[in-house]
Amino acid sequence: SRSYVSNIAGVTTNYSSTLNSDSSTFTRNGSSGTFYYEAIQVTVNITGNYTLRSNCAIDTYGYLYVNNVNLYDVSSNLVKCDDDAGGNLQFSMTYTLQAGTTYILVFTTYSSYIMTPFSVNVVGPTSVYLRRMNITSTAPSTTRMTTLMATGKHSLLILNSFLFLMIS
């Protein structure tokens, strides 16, 4: 069976929002600042080449992820990122989006703690579903189990700072 990728680029889908003090924040890999961001779910009905461009008065940065985003490992699932390819300090990324696959576009700014209105334009063979989404990431942790006392039928355990008494 053949896979068909549409190269027609005639339909533009627009998304507008604002980064503000209520926006989520993260720390970019290799950087020390805190950045406001907005995560935008991107889904298409037709596999094809789509271009995602920012439009903002501020220097922008875009990350495109497949399936999910882990803010504690921002390189995981990252398929494309850009800073200034769109000219005028705007990101522009062209990528083959697969129908039935969830992508997440993370819109942020190049500099930390910047609040600004923005828009994203997606141009491709068909309209694109764009929806704001919340990213829930949990910090990586290790589970440690330590037996403090084992006498007869009772065991006292500490599991990640919680105390459990197991009776068998």
Same domain, 76 and 157: no
Same domain, 43 and 60: yes
Is 115 within a domain? yes
Number of domains in the chain: 2
Same domain, 41 and 116: yes
Same domain, 65 and 90: yes
Integer CA distances (angstroms), 107 to 61, 90, 127, 161, 168, in order? 6, 11, 19, 37, 53
Same domain, 25 and 90: yes
Same domain, 117 and 157: no
Same domain, 117 and 87: yes
pLDDT, residue 62, reads 97
Which residues constitute the domain of residue 69?
Answer: 11-133
Same domain, 118 and 152: no
pLDDT per residue over 33-61, tens digit each?
899 999 999 999 999 999 999 999 999 99
The Cα 73–Cα 148 span in angstroms is 34
Is 3 within a domain? no
Same domain, 65 and 107: yes
pLDDT per residue over 2-43, tens digit each?
555 556 668 999 999 999 999 999 887 667 789 999 999 999
Same domain, 145 and 79: no
Is 5 within a domain? no
pLDDT per residue over 86-122, tens digit each?
999 999 999 999 999 999 999 999 999 999 999 999 9
Q: Could you tell me the CATH number of the domain that includes residue 19?
A: 2.60.120.380
Same domain, 99 and 161: no
Same domain, 72 and 120: yes
Contacts of 25 (CB under 8 A, 6+ apart): 34, 35, 36, 37
Q: Residue type for 50, please?
A: Y
Look up the pTM and report it.
0.77
- Which residues of the chain form beta strands (DSSP E)? 11-19, 24-26, 35-43, 48-55, 60-66, 78-82, 92-97, 103-109, 116-124, 129-133, 145-151, 154-159, 162-167
